[in-house]
Structure 1
Amino acid sequence: MIRHLFTLIWNRKRSNLLLIVEIVLSFFVLFVVSSLLVYNVYNYRQPMGFDYQNVWEINLNPGADTTAYNQKLQLTMQRLKATKGVIGVTKTSSNTPFSFSTMNGAYSYKGKQMPYNDNFDADDDFRDVMKLKVVEGRWFDHRDAASTRTPIVINTALKNAAFPNEKAVGQIFTDEKGEKEWQVVGVIAGYRAASDFTEDAPLSFRRRALDYDMTKKASSYELPVLLLRVQPGSGAMLEKQLIKEISNVTKGWSVTVNSLEQNRVAKLKFVLTPLIVLGLVCGFLILNVALGLFGVLWYNINQRKAEIGLRRALGATGAGIGGQFLGEMLVVTTLGVVLGLGLAMQFPLLGVFGVASGVYLQAMLLATLIIFALTAICAWQPSRIAAGIQPAVSLREE
């Protein structure tokens, strides 16, 4: 039977070649979209590494006021910690969770450059406020104040890249020239701060005290950003009280308050918009492919009515005729998918998107299933029409 199907396909090789090309292109588009889909779904299902619920972000802008900056900031944090409804307060850099701000760089270890990683500034209270999980070593504390090297905490992704077979605690990173040094004091499980769809990429936290000179700030990222963990259910009343406490100390600094949950929703809208547009474009392409396949099959049936009538006259059943057309389409689809898989295999081999090979394999499987389901659906109705053709009808038309 299969040999017979290949013979029929070869006899109509010109029209079938066009079908195969169309299937290959459709498979390739589906593979690319499926890769992005699998990659984002996989990341979405991973733990964030921190608890963003009931955490508020306070952005302070002193403007031109640099008088007693550190004293005002320290007093502000003390007042906030003493406010009823506030569980913890920490100072960090502007690249807070779900923000549109990033800082990155690369360390060197024993003369070898490490992967680029996101950098975050944090104080000793950051872990408790964000509920980070330390898996090796410790978080920053008062012991780091006298350190001759800048203490840092890294995540497991950076540890695995830099020290795959060693303990990370105590290891020393340098800059490219070997002039600056950072010492690892701890390792956290993860911290996917950019969005729900961000992978667990290498990152590091640098301990930053409150005693740097604000008058020498070089850019806006030096502006103070505070993260507050508040009691569940806190709302406008607490926000009003916090702004009042800050205003009483800073006298003229501008203050904005947002919850990380609000920031997360805003970031999700930003990230999902291009994905939705891509999905709609892909759906439109699939619809056009389906209509094209349906039209080609319909045309083939009309062109082969004499053949169908002759087979029916020789005793072929309607189910057999329908199965033949469906089988031909599935064989053509298989040829197209095999060629498409040959192209898709280049992605993991060349590391095109820089994602794990498992993502590509799942995308190939998903694209294959969709293509076969699509062609089977498109071939089903024309096959039923072919199965219902009677010998007398086809001979009369001939």
Structure 2
Amino acid sequence: MIRHLFTLIWNRKRSNFLLMAEILLSFFVLFVVSVLLVNNYYNYRQPMGFTSDNVWEFNINPGQDTINRKETLRRLVQELKATPGVAAVTWTSNTPFSFSNNNTDEYRYKDKGAPQTEIFDTDDDMVKVLGLNVVAGRWYDSRDDASSRHTIVVNQRFADEMFGQESAVGKVLTNDKHDEEWQIVGVVEAFRSGSDFASNDPTIFIRRALQDTARMSNTEQATLLVRVQPGSAAVLEQQLVRKIKAVTKGWDANVNTLAENRKDKLKFVMTPLIALGLVGLFLIINVALGLFGVLWYNINQRKAEIGLRRALGATGNAISRQFLGEMLVVTTLGVAGGLLLAVQFPLLGVFGLATPVYFMAMLLATVLVFTLTAICALQPSRIAAAIQPAVSLREE
């Protein structure tokens, strides 16, 4: 049966070659779209590494006021911590779900350079506010006050890419000039700060005590993250805003919640994903219409062949299986060519994604193409099965 199908395909090799080329191109485009969609789904299933519920973000802008800035911020943090309903307060240079980040690859360990890494300047209470999961070592604290090196905590992704199977705790990083050092005291599980679909990129948390905030420029805003007790309402929010204005004496303060920032960032990220999904759907519809039209044309061109087979005793189901089998064989050849192209993506590191993402995308694209082909071939094969010998001979 298989040999017979290949013979029929070879006899119509010109039209079948064009059909295989269309399937190959469709598979390849579906594969690329699937890679992006699968990667986002894969990231979505990964742990965030922190909790954003019940965390409020206060963006404080001192404006041109540079007098006693560090002392004012220190008193402000103390006042906020003493407020009933506040569980913890931290200062940070950057926050999760923001539209800006600080990346660098300046770190080195021995002769190995670090990957592109996201940097967060934070204080000792960040671990309490965001509920970070420390899986090795510890979070920095007052024990590091006397350290001659910068104290840092890294996420597991950074540790894996930089040190492999070795423990990251205790390792010392340097810059290119070897005139500055950073010592790792702990490792957190993950930190996906971009969005729900963001990857777990290498991240470093640098200990920057509140007294060091005098290094901020006049235009830089201080950001405080405040963890409040569950169920805290607008009354507490207004109370904290009034306290900020009273302590800072005129500094601007804007408040938002990390949960709201997370939703806003999710909407922003979802827009291109929806557009990508619509492109994939449009492609599938066009491929389906093309396949259906080609199969319909083939049946009209082969009515004499079908009528002759029916006259020789072939059943309608046999005719239907023949057309469906031909289409599946042509699809297999087209998909095989597409897989040869797709397998180059993980080998060459295109997109720089995890290898399982590529293979999941190959599987998804293959299933879509075969399903689409089977659906498109089903109705034309039924039409072929219904052709009667007398009708085809009369048309001839």
TM-score between both structures, scaled by the size of structure 1: 0.97
Q: Match of 2:9, SS?
A: helix
Aligned partner of 1:254 in structure 2 is 252
Q: Match of 2:148, SS?
A: coil
Aligned partner of 1:101 in structure 2 is 100
Aligned partner of 1:43 in structure 2 is 43
Query: Whole-Å Cα distance in 2 between the matches of residues 100 and 285 of structure 1?
Result: 32
Q: Match of 1:146, SS?
A: coil
Shift of 1:213: 5.8
Q: Deviations over 1:152-176 (max 9, x none)?
A: 0011111112222322222110001
Q: Residue 234 of structure 1 aligns to which amino acid in structure 2?
A: S
Shift of 1:75: 1.2
Aligned partner of 2:226 in structure 1 is 228
Q: 1:148 to 1:21 in 2, by over 3 A?
A: same
Q: Residue 287 of structure 1 aligns to which amino acid in structure 2?
A: I
Shift of 1:219: 7.3
Shift of 1:235: 2.2
Aligned partner of 1:11 in structure 2 is 11
Shift of 1:68: 1.3
Do 2:41 and 2:197's aligned partners in 1 also have CA atoms closer than 8 Å? yes
Aligned partner of 2:310 in structure 1 is 312
Query: Whole-Å Cα distance in 2 between the matches of residues 213 and 373 of structure 1?
Result: 60
1:69 aligned onto 2:69? yes
Query: Could you tell me which of 278, 281, 304 is aligned with 2:279?
Result: 281
Q: 1:203 to 1:219 in 2, by over 3 A?
A: farther
Shift of 1:36: 1.1
Paired residues for 1:299-338 under 5 Å: 299-338=297-336
Query: Whole-Å Cα distance in 2 between the matches of residues 18 and 166 of structure 1?
Result: 54
Query: Whole-Å Cα distance in 1 between the matches of residues 237 and 273 of structure 2?
Result: 35
Q: Residue 325 of structure 2 aligns to which amino acid in structure 1?
A: G
1:376 aligned onto 2:380? no
1:387 aligned onto 2:385? yes
Q: Match of 1:184, SS?
A: strand
Query: Whole-Å Cα distance in 1 between the matches of residues 192 and 96 of structure 2?
Result: 8
Query: Whole-Å Cα distance in 1 between the matches of residues 186 and 82 of structure 2?
Result: 29
Q: Match of 1:91, SS?
A: strand
Aligned partner of 1:162 in structure 2 is 162
Note the residue ranges of structure 2 that are not aligned, 5 or more in a row: none
1:211 aligned onto 2:225? no
Query: Whole-Å Cα distance in 2 between the matches of residues 193 and 127 of structure 1?
Result: 14
Aligned partner of 1:140 in structure 2 is 140
Query: Whole-Å Cα distance in 1 between the matches of residues 351 and 59 of structure 2?
Result: 35
Q: Match of 2:211, SS?
A: coil
Do 2:88 and 2:227's aligned partners in 1 also have CA atoms closer than 8 Å? yes
Q: 1:213 to 1:281 in 2, by over 3 A?
A: closer
Q: 1:213 to 1:142 in 2, by over 3 A?
A: closer
Query: Whole-Å Cα distance in 2 between the matches of residues 24 and 247 of structure 1?
Result: 64
Shift of 1:110: 0.8
Do 2:120 and 2:205's aligned partners in 1 also have CA atoms closer than 8 Å? yes
Q: Deviations over 1:36-62 (max 9, x none)?
A: 111111110111110111101100001
Do 2:64 and 2:218's aligned partners in 1 also have CA atoms closer than 8 Å? no
Q: Match of 1:84, SS?
A: coil
Aligned partner of 1:184 in structure 2 is 184
Query: Whole-Å Cα distance in 1 between the matches of residues 217 and 80 of structure 2?
Result: 27
Query: Whole-Å Cα distance in 1 between the matches of residues 319 and 75 of structure 2?
Result: 85
Q: Match of 1:234, SS?
A: coil
Q: Residue 154 of structure 1 aligns to which amino acid in structure 2?
A: V
Shift of 1:232: 1.4
Q: Match of 1:88, SS?
A: strand
Query: Whole-Å Cα distance in 2 between the matches of residues 25 and 166 of structure 1?
Result: 44
Shift of 1:67: 1.3
Aligned partner of 1:243 in structure 2 is 241
Q: Residue 35 of structure 2 aligns to which amino acid in structure 1?
A: S
Aligned partner of 1:131 in structure 2 is 131
Do 2:151 and 2:206's aligned partners in 1 also have CA atoms closer than 8 Å? yes
Q: Match of 1:212, SS?
A: helix
Aligned partner of 1:89 in structure 2 is 89
Shift of 1:236: 1.5
- The Cα RMSD (Å) is 1.1
Paired residues for 1:325-364 under 5 Å: 325-364=323-362
Query: Whole-Å Cα distance in 2 between the matches of residues 219 and 383 of structure 1?
Result: 74
Query: Whole-Å Cα distance in 2 between the matches of residues 213 and 51 of structure 1?
Result: 26
Shift of 1:112: 2.0
Stretch moving more, 365-374 or 231-240: 231-240
Identity %: 65
Q: Match of 1:295, SS?
A: helix
Query: Whole-Å Cα distance in 2 between the matches of residues 290 and 356 of structure 1?
Result: 31
Q: Residue 91 of structure 2 aligns to which amino acid in structure 1?
A: K
Q: Match of 2:187, SS?
A: strand
Q: Deviations over 1:271-293 (max 9, x none)?
A: 11111101101111110110010
Q: Deviations over 1:56-84 (max 9, x none)?
A: 11000010111111111111111111112
Q: Residue 238 of structure 2 aligns to which amino acid in structure 1?
A: K
Query: Whole-Å Cα distance in 2 between the matches of residues 5 and 166 of structure 1?
Result: 57
